[in-house]
Amino acid sequence: MNKSTIPVEQRAALSLLLDDHRHAKRLFKQFESVRGMQEKKQIAMEVCQALEVHTQIEEELFYPKIRADGGEKFADLLDEAKVEHASAKDLIAQIQRAGTADELFEAKVKVLSEYIAHHVSEEEEELFPKVIAKKIDLKELAEEMAARREELMETALA
């Protein structure tokens, strides 16, 4: 999805989510390219934190807005996203608890990467185009999402 093709009333909110998607993808790629387990652990923790913030923003703000303004057209996609988030959260918790000595540590991160790739694909290829086509106004939501992101990041770093 190209940000420049997103209408201005939706651009900030969708761009925030698209940026998160790109950031997670870069971190997963970086995880695959490093050799040292301490560096892998650090990258894994960073991607887990980023995904926790991202999923919370989607669940608290983005999905409810889309469900309220989009009606039944979005119900199935949002229900699937909720289930995908639950699976990802479970795996994130396992990764965060796991030490680098855990023989399944790298496999868990790999599977999380695959879950997220699938989730991102559905959002970018199905959900976001429907949001754009439905002309759901996301201007105010974008500000709420940005503020919530900042709040969550501050909490995570504390």
Convert the pLDDT of each residue in 36-87 to its tens digit.
Answer: 999 999 999 999 999 999 999 999 999 999 999 988 889 999 999 999 999 9
Instruction: Report the Cα–Cα distance between both ends of the chain, in Å, rounded.
Output: 34
Kindly state the tokens that stand for 9: 């009333």
Rounded distance between C-alpha atoms, residue 28 and residue 117, angstroms? 10
Cα–Cα distance, 28 to 125 (Å, whole number): 20
pLDDT tens digits, 106-158: 999 999 999 999 999 999 999 999 999 999 999 999 999 999 999 999 887 76
Phi, psi of 29 (to 5 degrees): -65, -40
Q: Where are the domains of the chain?
A: 8-157
pTM: 0.92
Q: What tokens does 31 get? A: 């995880």
pLDDT number for residue 158: 67
- Tokens 């996203």 correspond to 81
User: pLDDT band for position 7 (50/70/90)?
Assistant: confident
pLDDT at residue 100 tops 80: no
Pairs from 78-83 (Cβ < 8 Å, separation ≥ 24): 78/127, 80/122, 81/119, 81/122, 81/123, 81/127
Backbone angles phi, psi at 76, to 5 degrees: -60, -45
Right CATH for 8-157 from 3.40.50, 1.10.10, 1.10.260, 1.20.120: 1.20.120
